Structure 1
Amino acid sequence: MPNQFALDVTKIRDDARRRMQEGPVTATYGGDTNPVLDILNQVVATEIVCYLRYIQNSIAAAGIDRAQVAAEFKEHAAEELQHGLRAAERINQLGGVPDFDPGTLARRAHTEYSAPAATDLDTMLRENLVAERIVISSYQEIIRWLGDSDPTTRRLMEDILEEEEEHANDLTDLLGVQG
């Protein structure tokens, strides 16, 4: 039978014992962890910046639909924070150190943080939708870049991407934007 599956369990066992200090990063890891760690720290920064923007917007929002939109912003903020923490946990698993340095967060983030001059909901919704669209495109590119080299990080990014797409859909619904 062509392309038959073969596994050298003895070699895997020996390697697992010899390189225990590397934790979950085994010899079968598909690439170099350093660029993955860098990308994941960019994800952490992006998610923290998004969290901060959503929280600020939830507090500063004004207008007749404030309660509904502020509640949505708070929900999105909580999810963005969880995304950042999940990426930070993955960095730790890969032997890196998550970077939460407030002095460099904005520089490393894919989205921008700008507190709106206006408190109107339409402006906030539009700016958050733009940010979600940036994140969606960035994360799709990261997933393609990871390919099969790191299936765990790829699945993490796919899970986060799915929630980011839900955020964009929620914002689109709130804006009443037609596709």
Structure 2
Amino acid sequence: MKADVSSKTNGHKHLVLDQGGLDAARKSLDDGAVTPSYGPWRDDVVQLLNDALATELVCVLRYKRHYFTANGVESPAIADEFLVHANEESGHADRIAERIVQLGGEPDFAPSHLLERSHAAYDESTDLQSMVRANLIAERIAVESYRQMIALIGDKDPTTRRMLEDILSDEEEHADELKDWLGH
């Protein structure tokens, strides 16, 4: 999508769409939403998204384990928060997988690939504070990885960028909530 600023009227530049790009969009209908303007970046974006998908799925598993194994005086409230976060991470994974398919890619849910592609680690802590700390570390890693993905994608794929910005907001909220639990 190469819009141009080539037309001038009374010294004012006008925004003009690239007719060649519009004509190309009429072809290759099997590609769905993926038009030629995605250029060479589509495969890279799909790879970034598959890594993010792995991260979200590992986070779901870690939060679920912590939800079921948390114990101690404060554990019911914190465990409930772990479950909320697990469900939100699962929603993120669904959105990411859906976007991968929209881009003509294949979402990779293979269990054997998850840990090798995930930015965050799985955790088997048994005490509550270690669980909170492990989840806070994972959320901070997610925040940083989403910030980097957003910067890398820039204007190459605005739809994916907006989705990642939305997920980033949730991850920042999770990190703030966990930070509050860390001192309890």
Between the aligned partners of 2:177 and 2:39, the Cα distance in structure 1 is 36
User: Partner of 1:103: helix, strand, or coil?
Assistant: helix
Q: Does 1:160 align with 2:170?
A: no
Between the aligned partners of 1:12 and 1:103, the Cα distance in structure 2 is 40
Q: 2:118 matched to which residue of 1?
A: 109
Q: Does 1:128 align with 2:135?
A: yes
Structure with greater contact order relative to length (CA < 8 Å, sep ≥ 6) = 1
User: Partner of 1:18: helix, strand, or coil?
Assistant: coil
Amino acid at match of 1:5: L
Between the aligned partners of 1:169 and 1:30, the Cα distance in structure 2 is 38
1:75-98 deviation line (CA, Å, top 9, x unaligned): 000000111111110000000000
Say whether the 8 Å CA contact 1:31–1:150 is kept in structure 2: no
Between the aligned partners of 2:18 and 2:117, the Cα distance in structure 1 is 42
Q: Does 1:174 align with 2:184?
A: no
User: Partner of 1:4: helix, strand, or coil?
Assistant: strand
TM-score, with structure 1 as normaliser: 0.91
User: Partner of 1:104: helix, strand, or coil?
Assistant: helix
Q: Structure 2 regions of 5+ residues with no counterpart?
A: 1-10
Q: Does 1:41 align with 2:47?
A: no
Between the aligned partners of 2:95 and 2:109, the Cα distance in structure 1 is 13
User: Partner of 2:15: helix, strand, or coil?
Assistant: coil
Question: Going by fraction, where is strand more abundant, 1 or 2?
Answer: 2
Aligned residues: 174
Structure whose CA Rg is larger: 2
Q: 1:79 matched to which residue of 2?
A: 88
Q: 1:6 matched to which residue of 2?
A: 16
Q: Does 1:52 align with 2:61?
A: yes
For residue 30 of structure 1, report the CA deviation from its aligned partner.
5.5
Say whether the 8 Å CA contact 1:31–1:149 is kept in structure 2: no
Equivalent of 1:139 in 139, 146, 167: 146
Say whether the 8 Å CA contact 2:129–2:182 is kept in structure 1: yes
Alignment root-mean-square deviation, CA: 1.5
Q: 1:100 matched to which residue of 2?
A: 109
1:20-50 deviation line (CA, Å, top 9, x unaligned): 1211011233642111111100000000000
Amino acid at match of 2:155: D
Between the aligned partners of 2:62 and 2:18, the Cα distance in structure 1 is 50
Say whether the 8 Å CA contact 2:123–2:134 is kept in structure 1: no
For residue 7 of structure 1, report the CA deviation from its aligned partner.
2.0
Between the aligned partners of 2:13 and 2:110, the Cα distance in structure 1 is 48
Between the aligned partners of 1:127 and 1:102, the Cα distance in structure 2 is 21
